[in-house]
């Protein structure tokens, strides 16, 4: 008597392989998008962007970079780049918020 779980025609095995394949495809996509994002940010760093940027949006983006950097299997260099970008966006958010507060105090 053969074990169903080891059978290559077992639907559960096929579903698992399909999910693993999709998971790998998504990881590859995240790596590709992260590399593209890092190149784009290198060309147009956050400090060169519009000064009227919303601080909350910048903080949200920083949190997203930190979240992406924690993806399992991500190359170390890409993860470090994402952490660096997260910190840069946080710093820019603080800078924008400070500038907005100073403008309020002057009024």
What is the per-residue pLDDT for 87? Answer: 92
SS (H, E, C) 39-86: HHHHHCCHHHCCCCCCHHHHHHHHHHHHHHHCCCCCCHHHHHHHHHHH
pLDDT in tens, 46-91: 554 545 557 888 888 889 889 888 888 878 888 888 898 889 889 9
What is the per-residue pLDDT for 9? Answer: 64
Burial category of 37 from C-beta neighbours within 10 Å (exposed 0-12, middle 13-18, buried 19 and up)? middle
> Phi/psi zone of residue 49: left (φ > 0), alpha (ψ -120 to 50 degrees), beta?
beta
Residue 100 — very low, low, confident or very high, per pLDDT cuts 50/70/90? confident
CA separation for the pair 64, 79 (Å, rounded): 12
For residue 87, give both structure tokens: 């910190």
Three-state DSSP at 1 gives: coil
């Amino acid at each position: 008597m053969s074990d169903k779980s080891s059978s290559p025609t077992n639907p559960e095995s096929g579903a698992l392989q399909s999910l693993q394949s999709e998971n790998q495809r998504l990881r590859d996509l995240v790596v590709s998008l992260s590399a593209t994002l890092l190149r784009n940010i290198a060309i147009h760093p956050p400090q060169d962007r519009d000064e009227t940027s919303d601080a909350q949006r910048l903080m949200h983006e920083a949190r997203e970079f930190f979240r992406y950097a924690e993806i399992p299997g991500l190359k170390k260099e890409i993860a470090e780049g994402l952490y660096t970008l997260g910190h840069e966006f946080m710093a820019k958010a603080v800078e924008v918020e400070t500038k907005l507060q100073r403008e309020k105090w002057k009024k």
